[in-house]
Each structure stands twice: as C-alpha cells, then as structure tokens.
Amino acid sequence: DQQVKQNSPSLSVQEGRISILNCDYTNSMFDYFLWYKKYPAEGPTFLISISSIKDKNEDGRFTVFLNKSAKHLSLHIVPSQPGDSAVYFCAASALGGSNYKLTFGKGTLLTVNP
C-alpha cells in the first residue's frame, strides 16, 4: 500500500517555463510534506517543506502548494533551469510515535531542456 504517490514518472519542460510536479497521499495523519531533489550517484537533497496547517510555502523559485481536502500537493519551479534536471521525491512524516520516519513516493524525473 503506497501512502505517497507520484503518478508521473517523468516530466519534460523548456528552460524558463514552469515545472509542476504532483504528489498524492492517502494517510490523514501526515503532518509535514517535503520535497527532495536527487542527482544521479548522489543522495537526495532537501528542497522545501510544508506543514499540514498551511496551504502554500515559497522559497525562491520553488513553491509548494497543499490541498488537504484532495490529499494533494504540488511543487512549482519558476523559472525552470537546466540545472533543475533531476529526480524529485515527495515525502511525508506522520504525527505520533513514528514522527521520525519519512515515507517517500517513487519520484518524478524532471528534464529541463535548454
């Protein structure tokens, strides 16, 4: 049972345009959502997070939107740059005793074309 789902294995966008990466979840106990970026042969790097009590968080070119009623979040990258080409993972942590554990989606490969 996959609690965090990234249904698009890949996404291709032109440099300068917006990239929108989507993530759906099933567990209502998730209280924080995080996005990670991963280059080949490297570990994932933390990008941005959002608390379940908020609907938007922005950091430079990266904005995460959360729709709790739809159990959906998205990461917007504007403007997209070739260096953004990587695999993006959505992750979530739950309230309670397992609040140290992150549950990851399968990732979306973003390719930004010059």
Q: Does residue 98 belong to the site contacting other proteins (CB under 8 A)?
A: yes
Torsion angles phi and psi, residue 82, rounded to 5: -55, -35
Task: Tell me the site size for other proteins, rule CB under 8 A.
Answer: 28
CB-based contacts of 100, cutoff 8 Å, min separation 6: 93
Q: Restricting to residues 13-72, name those near other proteins by CB under 8 A.
A: 31-32, 34, 36, 41-46, 49, 51
Binding residues (CB under 8 A) for other proteins: these are 4, 6, 9, 31-32, 34, 36, 41-46, 49, 51, 89, 91, 93, 98-107
